[in-house]
Structure formats: structure tokens, C-alpha cells
Amino acid sequence: MSSYESIIFISREVLIYQIPPLRSSRGYCASEWDVDKPLWRGRLRVLEVADDAAATRVRCELRLEDNNSGELFASAPYLLTGKGVEQVTDSSRFFVMRVVDGDRHAYLGMGFMERSEAFDFNIALQDFKRHANPSAEIIPGSGPQKKEEVKDYSLKEGQTITISLGKGTRRRRSPNTTSENAGSNPGALPFLPPPPSAQEVKDQFRTVAHATEDNDDFGDFVS
């Protein structure tokens, strides 16, 4: 079965370190390394590898190679879960990679000469994850959209709402409850009539004024 390789990132020079075992759950710290004495230095290539022509199986691999001869020093697979490469907690230029040789594996420190290269390296790994696992992205407008169900929260006939007033509990009548049912329920709250309008108040005054204008001295002041 043939495979196809595509370079998604390359750095002409990285520094590789032998690092102490992980001592804390917080992660690796580059300050604990002897950064002035690298174990190896050379080229890093990050490859996207398709195991078949249809590219249905895509994987990512980090390869450390000699700058002159191209001889492979070590390789590290990078998984979609992010396993295989980890950034240290105290620097943006240093990483820890899990190199694999058959059934054996080891953890090596890796440092970039420039922060911009470390940034581009991080971006290349993120781009691979998005490309290799497109189902993890939610694209607006793609696929069938489930119509949101509209719920009816209005009161149905005979339903009541329980509300708390002070120490006791009272039941509020639904609008469809008749006055007869309210009389049978002494705990029901009565509905107060709406206040009269301004026009109704004037009409009442006029009625009283006309009825009493012959006997009431104040009738002359009613307009």
C-alpha cells in the first residue's frame, strides 16, 4: 500500500534536549533543562501522511533529520487528541515530544530559535487536526437543521397557578374560572375591577350635577 506525504511545516534548526522525568502534574518546565547543552540539533519536518490514494486515513508525523545528509535522528507521531507533542508551562519556544522507535518510546525536549517559528509550528498542528477531523467543526448552514419546538406556556381551562403570599399559600384563579367556582374556594384571590376612565368620571359628575342643580348651590361650579 503506497502512502503520500505532504510537508505542512519545516524548521531548518531545532535543539533537542534530554529531559528529566515529569515531576508534577502541572506539566514540563524548560527551566529544569540544561538548555545550553542540547543533545542534538538539526532539521524538523512535520508531515501529513495519507496511507492510501483516497486519503481516507491521514496521520501526522514529526521527523528530526540531519541538515546535510537527511539521516533520520528520531520521529514522533502526532495524534488528533494532541498526544505526542506538549508545550512546556514556562516558555513558548520549548516543547516535549514523544519519539517512538518500534515498541520503545522516550520523551525529548525540543526548542526553537525564534518564537515566531514556535508559533507557526503550533498553527501547523492545529491546522492538521482541523483538516484530518472536519466533523469536529460546526459549519453554519451545513446539514439538516432541527426545527425548534415551540412550547405553549399559556394556562389551559381549569388550570391554576400557586403563588406564595407571606406566610400562607394562595391559589390564583385562571381567567376561565367562573365566579361561582371562586365562591366555593375561599382561598381564591378575587379579581379587582379596572379603575374608571376619566370620561366615565366626568359623566358621573354631570349626572349628579343635573340631578341636584335645583337644590344644590355647588351645581353652578360643575362644567
Domain ranges of the chain: 4-133, 159-191
pLDDT at 60 over 70: yes
| Mean pLDDT, residues 21-39 taken together | 91
User: In whole numbers, what is the pLDDT of the chain averaged over residues?
Assistant: 77
Strand partners for 61: 47, 77
At 34 the pLDDT is 93
pTM of the entire predicted model: 0.58
pLDDT in tens, 204-219: 666 655 555 555 444 4
CA distances from 9 to 43, 58, 175, 176, 200 (A): 11, 16, 70, 72, 84
Residue % of the chain over a pLDDT of 70 = 58
pLDDT in tens, 176-187: 544 455 455 555
CA 89 to chain CA centroid, Å, is 24
Amino acid identity of residue 42, one-letter, is: G
Angstrom distance (rounded) from CA 78 to CA 126: 11
Nearest to 39 by CA among 17, 64, 66: 17
DSSP for 152-172, written as a single string:
--SPPTT--EEEEETTEEEEE
Residue with the larger pLDDT of the pair 134 and 171: 134
pLDDT in tens, 132-166: 876 544 334 333 344 445 556 666 666 666 655 55
Residue with the larger pLDDT of the pair 174 and 87: 87
pLDDT at 10 over 90: yes
Among 55-59, 79-83, 107-111, the range scoring the smallest mean pLDDT is: 55-59
SS3 at position 97: strand
SS3 at position 103: coil
Q: Does domain 4-133 fall into CATH 2.30.29.30?
A: yes
DSSP 8-state assignment for residue 148: P
